[in-house]
Amino acid sequence: MPIKRAMISVSDKAGIVEFARGLADLGVEIVSTGGTAKALREAGVPVTYISDVTGFPEILNGRVKTLHPNVHGGILALRSQDHLEQLKKHNITPIDLVAVNLYPFRETIAKPGVTLEDAIENIDIGGPTMVRSAAKNFKHVLVIVNPGRYMEVLEAIRRDAVNSEFRLALAKEAFAHTASYDTAITAYLEGIGSK
C-alpha cells in the first residue's frame, strides 16, 4: 500500500527534517502544523500547512488546529470503496502516515515552580487524537511516535517492506505512548488534588 500523504506534527524535532526530506524524495506529500511546518520549510522541505488542508486557521493559541474532519477523516478512513467514496464526496484526501510526538508534559511538570496553568497548556489534545486515530487504523496508516524509528520506517517504505507485523508493532508502540502520557497527566493532577 503506497504512502502518498503524511501528517507530521512534532514537539521533539530530533531527526524530523531528515525523515520528512526522505519522504518528500519518495514523492510523499507532507502536511504539517505550526512549528514543525516552519522547521521543514526553513530546511527546504516542501510542506502543506494544516490550515490549507482544513480551510480553517489554527485558533485558541494553537489549542485547535488538527481537530477537523479533513484530518481525521483522512486518517480514519478504511481503504474500502465505501469509505473512499465518502472521502471523495467530501473532498478529503487520505493520510497514509502520521508522525506525531506530544507536547512535553513530563518535562514541563519537572521544572521547578511550574504552575498548574503551564502544566495544563502542555496537555496535548490534537496529538494524541491523531496518534490514536492512526493506531486504530494501522492496517492502512503508519503511525510513528518515536523519533528513533524514523530511519527504520523510511527504509521500510523505500524497500516496500511495510508489512502487517510492522504496522501492528508501530500501533502498539503508539497506544503505549498515549497511555503513558495520560498516566503522567493523571498522576500530576492527583498530586495537585492531594495538596
Is 67 exposed, middle or buried (CB count within 10 Å of its CB: 0-12, 13-18, 19+)?
middle
pLDDT (0 to 100) of residue 143: 98
pLDDT (0 to 100) of residue 195: 53
Contact 74, 87 (CB under 8 A): yes
pLDDT (0 to 100) of residue 68: 86
User: Domains in the chain: how many in total?
Assistant: 1
Q: In terms of residue numbers, what domain contains 27?
A: 5-193
pLDDT (0 to 100) of residue 194: 55
Residue 145: CATH number of its domain: 3.40.50.1380
Please write the tens of the pLDDT for every residue from 45-57: 999 999 999 888 8
3-state helix, strand, coil in the chain (%, to 5): 55, 10, 35
**90, 92, 86, 97: which is closest to 5 by C-alpha?**
97
* Mean pLDDT for the chain overall: 91
HEC sequence for 94-120: CCCEEEEECCCHHHHHCCCCCCHHHHH
